[in-house]
């Protein structure tokens, strides 16, 4: 079984993917971790990594290829484009208002909310340009997803319950 969890920064994709992985006893692959790992190996910030990724598709393609290979064995795949790139049994998108996401990011990263909002806007603009340029994907188009959940309206437990209901009520299992 392959389930993809996608969403903008601060929507709770990692929280959901981790919980879903534990509940369903499936491994969890996080493309953000792959991105951060490459940035760390290059000794640059995630922001600088985004700028580098805008110069060419190589970094994004490395992450995509790794996900595709890992998907052969199934699992929970968390990533902005996972729902577009992988042949999944269930494709989930989490969404939430920018302010809510920035508050979560600020808390997680011990920074000011206004700084988190600005950094998130810049990151999302960078990613949006890249995804359109390299893949012709408009990340504001949710039609690729089987289920869209507003994590600003539902808490962690409710988001998990909604997705588990979708898994159990579908032909995924």
| pTM for the model | 0.88
The answer as to CATH 3.40.50.2000 being correct for domain 2-168 is no
pLDDT tens track for 67-82: 898 899 999 999 999 9
Give the start-to-end residue ranges of the domains of the chain. Answer: 2-168
Has residue 107 got a pLDDT over 90? Answer: yes
For 2, how many CA atoms within 13 A lie in the half-sphere containing its CB?
Answer: 20
Cβ count near 112 (within 10 Å): 10
Mean pLDDT of all residues in 45-72: 86
* CB contact burial 136-166 (16+ within 10 A = b; e otherwise): ebebeeeebbbbebebbebeeeebbebbeeb
Mean pLDDT of all residues in 34-53: 85
pLDDT tens track for 116-168: 999 999 989 988 988 998 899 999 999 999 999 999 999 999 999 999 999 99
């Amino acid at each position: 079984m392959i389930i993809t969890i996608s969403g903008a920064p601060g929507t709770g994709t990692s929280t959901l993917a981790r919980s879903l992985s534990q509940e369903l006893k499936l491994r969890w692959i996080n493309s953000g971790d792959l991105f951060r790992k490459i940035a760390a190996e290059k000794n640059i910030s995630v922001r600088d990594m985004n700028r580098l990724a805008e110069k060419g598709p190589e970094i994004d393609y490395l992450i995509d290829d790794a996900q595709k290979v890992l998907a052969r064995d199934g699992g929970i795949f968390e990533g902005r484009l996972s729902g577009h790139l992988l042949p999944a049994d269930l494709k989930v998108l989490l969404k939430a208002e920018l302010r809510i996401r920035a508050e979560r990011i600020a808390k997680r990263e011990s920074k000011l909310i206004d700084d988190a909002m600005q950094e998130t806007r810049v990151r999302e603009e960078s990613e949006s340009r890249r995804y359109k340029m390299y893949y012709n994907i408009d990340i504001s188009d949710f039609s690729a997803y089987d289920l869209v959940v507003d994590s600003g309206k539902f808490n962690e437990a409710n988001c998990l319950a909604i997705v588990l209901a979708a898994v159990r009520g579908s032909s995924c299992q």
